[in-house]
Structure 1
Amino acid sequence: MMNLRLILVSPLLIATAFLLSCSTAQAPDAQGDLSKQGPCAASWNLRYERLVGHKCYPKRVVEAAKAGCKAGEKTSCKVARAVSRYNRTTHLDLEDGAVATAAAAGCKAGEGDGCALHGLELLAMRFDAQAAKIFGRGCKLGSRASCFEAARLKGEKPAFDMAHNTCDAQQPVPCRQQACRRGDGASCRVLGRFAEDGEHLERNLGEAVTYYEKACMLADMAGCGALGRFYARGQVVPRQTGVARKLFAWGCGPDNTEACVGAARMLAEGLGGERDPQAAEKLYSAACEGESGIACRELASLYKTAIVFRTKRAEIASYFGKGCELGDGPACAHRAEIELAKKPLDEQAVARVESLYRSACDAKFADGCKQGADRFYFGNGVPSNEKVAIELASKACELGSALHCTRAADGYRFGRGVSVDDKRATELVERGIELHKDACGDEQGRGCFYAAHAIAHGFPREKKLEEARAFLEKACEDGAKGACREIASQYVIGEIYPRERQRGIEKLRSLCDKGDNASCDTLADELSFGLGGESELADGLDYHRRGCFWYSNDAACVKLGLHYLRGHGAQRDAKKAFEYAFRACSEDGERQGCTGAGVTVLRSHPESDDEKSMPDLLQQYCVYDGNDSVCTPLARMYETGYSLPREPYRALSLYERVCDAEVGFSSEACSRAELVRLAKKTDDDADKSPKDLDKACKAGDAASCVLLARHHEFGTTDTNRFRKALPHYRKACELGSADACTIYVTLSFEEGQPWGAKFYEELAWACQKGTALMCYQWGNYMGSHNWDIFVRMNQAACAKGNQVACRLLERNLEPLELEAESSAKASSADKR
């Protein structure tokens, strides 16, 4: 069997791991006369006091202990080892390897645990034969850890029963505590797990760390690996990735693949030391062979992200599949995503996807449940299946997803995919409300909105607006800023409270002045929408500037850039627009910033190195990182031939990808894909002069209007090309090109013409003639400003066949209203 512990472990790893990990262990006995030296005699007693941070002559203690150890006194060797471990705290100038030196001396003096530590160091140096002899000596001296390692090297069972095999299952704690005191590291580690998980012992992470440290000191490898987790996360102990990396490496073994995964992850990401993806690959591979589902998943991810280059997609899929079979929920979700990428997707493939998402749920992976529920609910990548969606959403609800409680409740409320069951629907709504209420008091406070919305609309056959208002007002009185902010927002929107926009604006202003930054953001968004004229636009710009510069809010930087891009409240300035959007487009920033920066580059001539590098950055995030939300501006660059070589078919594939993923405003990507296909079909007409296209457009040919609009939009030397394209897209929309309507709305929004209340009118007009997806997505975006627009746009989307819009209306409006509308539509259809 492969000894994983020996992979990439330096000769002094054991010494350093002990040096940095055992900060709370009790110090062993020391020479009695040491306690009488200096002014601290009354408190200095090595039997009871810890050495960490003790200021009573630590150098004398060290010198005496080292001298005693050198003379063959094994208790002094214990003291020398203990003090050496505390080197980082007492700042003693000890030589490297002090622990290892003391361990070897202690073994020679007849101290069994010293032999265990000395043997582990020899193993790290790959001197297996010498290590076996040292372990044998330690075993004869009574060291259980030495016996265990000696037996392991021989491939035999230890000559004695370890405590974890003999402890009474009915009284595990006293038994293990006794065994731990006697030097059984495995029992110390099990006690650590009890304290960490709250099993048999009260949950206490500090106590867990103490037990894990003692287990590691007693050469229990799994204990070292468990201790590494705390150093990696910075729980109880300071976050020290170097320490964690060494502890993981030492703890890694065939019976402790968790530590191997920790070590591999740090090697792959370069945490705590140099980055070494090839070494990480070896550790993941060995741990995967040892049946660690997490290791199999991480190995597949390593290949998928091309950190370690592999070209075989089947190899990646097989490792995700194996991880799933071994019970790793994220691996199941990843395997489902690979299955979804296959085109076309037949019935068997859809069944496999469903099974994989169910497995992710069964493994308690909430995100897998949510992903599966969303895909089958919206028909995203798979045929819509409400029964599967509601079942997965119910499990996601159990795992803590409040939004999916609402979705599952709607299924039982309206009998979508499952039988109508008002009692079950109410149970799900109530669980969702409680989960949302728990999030109401957090910094963002979005749980306040969702809880109020669920109270108002979530219960079967009832509308509880008054109850929702009472909840918000009580939460606001109790100090939940999110609830106060939501009350103000609701006056602006007009959903739970009657619409009084100016009253809502003033409430948001008051909250912002009192220091609620999220209210400042909401206020900035409302003012920037331009419903109150130029003065509001200027105020909106100032609030976004504050959010960007004072609070380093990436989203505020993007919106600040859009002010300059559109000329709202400030003179149009593409250079400033790019600067602010790019500020948010970073490794840890808002990807929306990349979209905004990409759109800005399309509208200007790149001047700075950052602008010129924007296509490369979009390539990285879209193509290599798989972030679909930033693919649309990249596709537009390929389509227009601006900043990148013109490649319409590559643009088409990216548009299709965003359209399928349904991220952000995917309606634009879907419509642009259709217009690329239209241009492909009319290649013969594409060579016509703008004058010929204009003539045909005026004569009522929608395709010519589209081609003319594209001609202006792609005129990369003309800085006003987008504004010139707008009327032609509008004309094409008027003549029946639904996709032209979507592009018209998108460019109007980016250009800032029309704006404010006029934009509502244009939006509603374009929705009547446009696609269902455009009506649904823009309706929901506008719903954060005006509830009436939300309703009107979703009604149009529902009438055009968008089932998600129909469900939104079902849940938010009175059932009788919907029935009346359906009857009217049916009657109208009969007349036609």
Structure 2
Amino acid sequence: MMRFACLVLAALHLAPAAGAQGVTDCDRLAGYLPVPRAPDLPADLRGVAEIAEPAQAVAACEAARRSDPDPFLAFLLARALEAADPQDPRLPALVAEGAVASAPFAASRLGLLYQRGHGGLQRDDARARALFEESCAAFPDPRSLAGCNNLAAAMVLAEELPAAVTLFEQACDAGLGRACANLADRIEEGRAPGYDPLRMQPLRERACDLFEPHACIQAGYALTQTDPPETLGALRRFEIACDLGLADGCYRAGAVMRDATDMEFGWRARQEAFGRGCDGGVAESCYEVAVGLVYGEDGTGSLADPGEQAQGVAMFDQLCTDRDPWACTDLGYLYSEGLAVTRDPARAVALSARACALGLAVGCNNLAVHLATGDGLPQNLPQAARYYEQGCAGGSGLACLNLGDMLAAGDLGTPDPARAQAAFRKGCDLGEAEACTR
């Protein structure tokens, strides 16, 4: 271990200055957030939590290596290649090449390849742990912290809990956000002997401040659950996650702005947050963008831009094709009402039926409405009642209310007050206020 530590010092002394040729697209697309090439880079240049476009990242890193002598770029190319193909045989050699820039980080990355069985290597947990130990032996070198975190995680799997949480805390105190987040998770699981559960939130907030976006999500969610919710605090954490490249953080930031009751946020700010989440591949965020485009800033659609409405309708259509039942339901409603589209009851029926088939109770309710009213297909009250029952059983309070009304009115024959009351009670329990008045 002492010999390895000496080699580390020599390597660090001989390596070119990190990022000597400037920040590259490789850094932006494949950089490690907690371990950037240049430690003082701003958040938007440090890298990404997850590589969303592996081919683009590979091309950027190959280009960067042709013009920048920094051997740390080998790590970034290896990361991009692993995202594109975990079994790419070039991974071990690239990690070894990067050791010139940081031997401790190379040991940690090679350990992960063995742990995952990536890069054509046979999975070997013992070899992985030995490499994590070599990496962590260089502590307090900042680039050894990832190895210490990985070693602690291996200790958790081996049920060496006291030593593991001590090591997590050491790496956390030294500035590795992921270690802070892992310590918080172990506390939450009850696997951190002697640690107070009240430490979870501060640890996650510290992890977030140290560029660990998943911890930002956890910290933000905890703030939404306080009474009353800490809206601005939650929003700040979700926005940090978003800025660090985690699309779910963008979606959650938009959702906080949408749901806030203690303050108002601009429609355009909400749309921008949802748009970033959609661009990152979060389908729920795309749905919210479509809702905003169709119904506009006032939420009624009356003032919405027709061109933006057409974009929203197209997004609903694509989401429905991709099996999003809420998008099918909303699109069906638009065709039923003739809002932003030409009214087409038959199309509305087909969309509501698809939503119901995809398991959305509200879709079953809407299909039942068409059957009960004969709008878009022949009236069929018994079949409408069956779909109301299906929607009610699936959790739609409105379906329960509609079913109760049918039973109470005798639309299926003799009125059935007992079954009607049971339907009203369930609708009330599901939050349908009108059912409670029945």
What TM-score does the superposition give when structure 1 sets the normalisation length?
0.35
Secondary structure in 2 matching 1:206 = coil
Which residue of 366, 383, 406 maps to 2:287? Answer: 406
Which residue of 431, 435, 438 maps to 1:774? Answer: 431
**Contact 1:324–1:331 (8 Å) recurs in 2:** yes
**Contact 1:188–1:211 (8 Å) recurs in 2:** no
Partner of 2:161: 277
Partner of 1:762: 421
Call closer, same or farther: CA 1:216–1:454 in 2, change over 3 Å.
Answer: same
**Contact 1:409–1:429 (8 Å) recurs in 2:** yes
Q: Displacement of 1:276 after TM fit?
A: 1.8
**Contact 2:116–2:123 (8 Å) recurs in 1:** yes
Whole-angstrom distance in 1 between the partners of 2:203 and 2:244: 17
Call closer, same or farther: CA 1:324–1:213 in 2, change over 3 Å.
Answer: closer
Call closer, same or farther: CA 1:195–1:774 in 2, change over 3 Å.
Answer: closer
Whole-angstrom distance in 2 between the partners of 1:235 and 1:472: 45
Partner of 1:262: 150
**Contact 2:329–2:355 (8 Å) recurs in 1:** no
For the pair 1:307 / 2:179, whether they are aligned, the reply is: no
For the pair 1:195 / 2:75, whether they are aligned, the reply is: no
Taking the TM superposition and a 5 Å limit, the aligned residue runs for 1:111-260 are 119-120=3-4, 132=6, 146=7, 149-151=8-10, 158=13, 160-162=14-16, 173=62, 188-193=74-79, 195-196=81-82, 205-212=87-94, 214-215=96-97, 220-237=103-120, 239-252=123-136, 253=138, 254-260=142-148
Call closer, same or farther: CA 1:386–1:173 in 2, change over 3 Å.
Answer: closer
**Contact 1:491–1:499 (8 Å) recurs in 2:** no
**Contact 1:257–1:287 (8 Å) recurs in 2:** yes
Secondary structure in 2 matching 1:461 = coil
Q: Displacement of 1:334 after TM fit?
A: 2.2
Q: What fraction of aligned residue pairs are identical, expressed as a percent?
A: 18
Q: Displacement of 1:295 after TM fit?
A: 2.0
Partner of 1:515: none
Call closer, same or farther: CA 1:151–1:458 in 2, change over 3 Å.
Answer: farther
Call closer, same or farther: CA 1:241–1:205 in 2, change over 3 Å.
Answer: same
Call closer, same or farther: CA 1:408–1:207 in 2, change over 3 Å.
Answer: same
**Contact 1:267–1:279 (8 Å) recurs in 2:** yes
Whole-angstrom distance in 1 between the partners of 2:251 and 2:189: 23
Instruction: Name stretches of at least 5 consecutive residues in structure 2 with no aligned partner.
Output: 25-59, 373-385, 405-415
Partner of 1:396: 277
Q: Displacement of 1:493 after TM fit?
A: 6.5
Q: Displacement of 1:314 after TM fit?
A: 5.4
Q: Displacement of 1:324 after TM fit?
A: 1.6
Q: Displacement of 1:455 after TM fit?
A: 4.3
**Contact 1:245–1:263 (8 Å) recurs in 2:** yes
Call closer, same or farther: CA 1:405–1:190 in 2, change over 3 Å.
Answer: closer
Whole-angstrom distance in 1 between the partners of 2:20 and 2:259: 55
For the pair 1:495 / 2:152, whether they are aligned, the reply is: no
> Aligned letter for 2:432?
C
**Contact 1:393–1:405 (8 Å) recurs in 2:** yes
Cα deviation, 1:77-123, whole Å, max 9, x if unaligned, reads xxxxxxxxxxxxxxxxxxxxxxxxxxxxxxxxxxxxxxxxx933xx5
Whole-angstrom distance in 1 between the partners of 2:214 and 2:256: 16
For the pair 1:357 / 2:243, whether they are aligned, the reply is: no
Cα deviation, 1:182-216, whole Å, max 9, x if unaligned, reads xx975654542453467xxxx78514424246448
Q: Displacement of 1:468 after TM fit?
A: 7.5
**Contact 1:164–1:187 (8 Å) recurs in 2:** no
**Contact 2:187–2:200 (8 Å) recurs in 1:** yes
Whole-angstrom distance in 1 between the partners of 2:94 and 2:371: 59
**Contact 1:221–1:251 (8 Å) recurs in 2:** yes
Secondary structure in 2 matching 1:287 = helix
Which residue of 432, 447, 461 maps to 2:340? Answer: 461
> Aligned letter for 2:159?
R
What TM-score does the superposition give when structure 2 sets the normalisation length?
0.59
Secondary structure in 1 matching 2:143 = coil
Partner of 1:141: none
Taking the TM superposition and a 5 Å limit, the aligned residue runs for 1:381-392 are 383=262, 387=266, 390-391=270-271, 392=273
Q: Displacement of 1:315 after TM fit?
A: 3.4
Q: Displacement of 1:359 after TM fit?
A: 2.2
> Aligned letter for 2:78?
G
**Contact 2:287–2:327 (8 Å) recurs in 1:** no
Cα deviation, 1:230-268, whole Å, max 9, x if unaligned, reads 444444545544443333333345214333333322322
Instruction: Name stretches of at least 5 consecutive residues in structure 1 with no aligned partner.
Output: 1-5, 7-117, 124-131, 133-145, 441-446, 474-481, 501-525, 532-558, 560-663, 668-740, 746-756, 777-795, 801-832
Call closer, same or farther: CA 1:496–1:390 in 2, change over 3 Å.
Answer: farther
**Contact 1:329–1:359 (8 Å) recurs in 2:** yes
Return the structure number with greater relative CO, CA threshold 8 A, min gap 6.
2
Whole-angstrom distance in 1 between the partners of 2:250 and 2:74: 37
Taking the TM superposition and a 5 Å limit, the aligned residue runs for 1:793-808 are 796=434
Which residue of 182, 196, 202 maps to 1:318? Answer: 202
Whole-angstrom distance in 2 between the partners of 1:342 and 1:492: 35
> Aligned letter for 1:495?
L
**Contact 1:386–1:416 (8 Å) recurs in 2:** no
Q: Displacement of 1:224 after TM fit?
A: 3.1
> What is the aligned length?
356
Whole-angstrom distance in 1 between the partners of 2:123 and 2:178: 23
Call closer, same or farther: CA 1:259–1:435 in 2, change over 3 Å.
Answer: farther
**Contact 1:370–1:404 (8 Å) recurs in 2:** yes
Secondary structure in 1 matching 2:431 = helix
**Contact 2:316–2:328 (8 Å) recurs in 1:** no
> Aligned letter for 1:223?
A
Whole-angstrom distance in 2 between the partners of 1:464 and 1:471: 11
Partner of 2:182: 298
Whole-angstrom distance in 2 between the partners of 1:350 and 1:163: 42
Partner of 2:49: none
Call closer, same or farther: CA 1:245–1:178 in 2, change over 3 Å.
Answer: farther
Whole-angstrom distance in 1 between the partners of 2:68 and 2:390: 73
> Aligned letter for 1:257?
L
Call closer, same or farther: CA 1:337–1:465 in 2, change over 3 Å.
Answer: same
**Contact 1:402–1:432 (8 Å) recurs in 2:** no
Instruction: Name the Cα RMSD after superposition.
Output: 5.4
